[in-house]
Structure 1
């Protein structure tokens, strides 16, 4: 499916009720009610705090695709893209996908974590490290549905931090993907190659709109991770990581690219016998590095020395509003790192807004540069 077609679909069917990063079950409930008459929606279990976990089914084809989003409650970009796709499912352009695929989507696996805007569930457990123990109700729900649905393919939908670069470059990793390993030797099994082939197809299609901004996630093996565990069960599993795009802290631009990636993957699976033979270009995707900070104040005079001050936004939920609070992380003495925003202090003194020496851990929207107040966010 061409980028032009994908863009038209996105602009037509974008779910207007979802915006920003703080997406909870309260936001999804009215949308699920709206979709109830069009799609099959069931409750397949409950979270620690007894919030319902839904699955949405569509299509009636022989190829079975299972995807889940917000396993980490603070990773909501893929959830928005999922509902954009669900709206688009009524379009004739999506009909061939639904003819060849039966799709099951768990839009919010961790509703408790989503409400608190945290990676963890209500028991402070990372569900993506619980694939073997299955100690949490959400883990048991997903694993049980996996067995019942018996998918041919899995899409594991996540979000990644702003720190990631696509390779060791100053290109941000707007999207990243992974075909998880099945052992510590990272053996290239047939199932891994099948997942790689799907990722390669996504990368080929999206390079025209995201040149050099697609990364490959680290493939170190950990069978406590759900993607690794499902790949071990001989089901090709693709990890999607929705990352950062310039000035897009609400991840609305990234949402669109994530929609492109989802539909491209489904379109490829629906039309192709995914044998794993066409996996090689997967390795042309650069592996992620961690080279970005949200802000770098370059050439800053701090306590008599010149540094680049590295600042990362802390994402904090306050009264149901998500705040991005700048925090000084490091004083850098080299040029290896990049900033999504760069402020040149021109060798002038940089202090706190209280006119004190700036320090690691300082949190504020502002600094003083040569006694002039400077915003770190605008």
Structure 2
């Protein structure tokens, strides 16, 4: 496949990085780089912020993408901006995609949540539970674009927490996918089957980069979720979940993997190669487990008598916006030895080296 020759770093948008991507920063990029593309305002948020879309290409395959439906999930927005740079590269693949596809992207559906770094919008509503009620202006914007654009494929772009692992393995779920259900029985319709085939294609591509780190997201049916709702309307829809790569709390590595996934799936659509991938291979992708903590600390009784000898400290970081930056605050739990959890980092207080390293961590004073 042509996308295998693409090097992400050549297309990485230099104006955005890290976890906190605001409405102003997005518009700074659009105004500096994409004024000639003709991005349009599809509507406004609760607080009146513009919700833009950009359209690339003029092919017969119409693909709709949206990112930052949850305001604190910015990794896929960064990947989409990298994709924009690639689509303007005049490479063999970019020319193919522009010729065969029309790609409409809403890079930030929830700008109020983006600025506040919250999952919900300014009315404290989760937009991904508003697909039926359409009570929020942002939800109505997406619905209007869906109805007017009439996409053949929809890509719902999200981030997922650091808690997820692949199956029961110690591999983190760095990227996860879902072909949303269209009914409570989770049956396989024609549209859901196509979603599965496209996910199989992306999985095969990403396995070359992050073997064993691709998971399958829970497919419980909820008609209030946008992906399920669009699948109910017989439009193949895919949920993308950008997760954790080792040491990558800024989600810059995962950004590259989402970028590559997008190029791979677009190439499959552009070359009409969907049927070369087996639908049933979707079920060979392990489901996500929830067995990860950010940090495990073994033998904490060596540093404080309040801890029991058999205890293990488990830390999950809570992401908090503080003075314009995202900080990671530790939330500490206690586990018994013999637990079934993993840690993205692990320390043993009986090791002098581990203990010295632990003392250098920002959360040391909270232990």
Instruction: Return the TM-score normalized by structure 1.
Output: 0.90
- What residue is the counterpart of 1:83 in the other structure? 81
Alignment check: 8 A CA contact 1:2 1:205 kept: no
Aligned length: 353
TM-fit CA distance, 1:205: 1.0
1:204 and 2:204 are equivalent in the alignment: yes
Query: Aligned partners of 1:330, 1:136: CA distance in 2, in Å?
Result: 40
CA distance in 2, matches of 1:330, 1:304: 10
* Alignment match of 2:16 (pick from 7, 12, 18): 18
2:31 to 8, 29, 33: 33
Shift of 1:272: 1.5
Q: 5+ unaligned residues in a row in structure 1: which ranges?
A: 349-362, 370-378
Partner of 2:347: 343
Rounded to whole Å, the distance in 2 between the matches of 1:277 and 1:241 is 21
Deviation at 1:12, TM superposition (A): 1.5
Match of 1:311 among 291, 310, 315: 315
Matches for 1:1-378 after TM superposition, within 5 Å: 1=1, 4-7=4-7, 10-91=8-89, 92=91, 93-272=93-272, 274=274, 278-301=278-301, 302-346=306-350, 365-367=363-365
Separation in structure 2 between the aligned mates of residue 232 and residue 243 of structure 1, nearest angstrom: 27
User: Structure 1, residues 321-370: CA drift from partner, whole Å, max 9, x if none?
Assistant: 1111112033333231000010112399xxxxxxxxxxxxxx9711588x
Find the aligned partners of 1:82 and 1:347 in 2 and give their Cα distance.
43
Contact 2:175–2:243 at 8 Å: present in 1 too?
Answer: yes
Contact residue 3 and residue 205 of structure 1 kept, 8 A: no
> 1:144 and 1:330, CA in 2 relative to 1: closer, same or farther beyond 3 A?
farther
> Which structure has the highest helix share of the two?
2
SS at match of 2:39: strand
| Cα deviation, residue 304, structure 1 | 3.6
Contact 2:3 2:267 in 1 (8 A): no
The answer to whether the Cα contact below 8 Å between 1:166 and 1:214 also exists between their aligned partners in 2 is yes
Gaps of 5+ in 2: 353-360
* Matches of 2:263 and 2:300, distance apart in 1: 46
The SS at the match of 1:325 is strand
**1:73–1:332 distance in 2 versus 1, CA, 3 Å:** farther
Moved over 4 A (4+): none
Normalised TM-score (structure 2): 0.92
SS in 2 for 1:219: coil
Whether contact under 8 Å (1:194, 1:277) holds in the other structure is no
Which one has the bigger strand percentage?
1
SS of 1:40's equivalent in the other structure is: coil
Q: Distance in 2 between matches of 1:144 and 1:332?
A: 51
SS at the partner of 1:173?
A: coil
- CA drift of 1:277 comes to 7.0
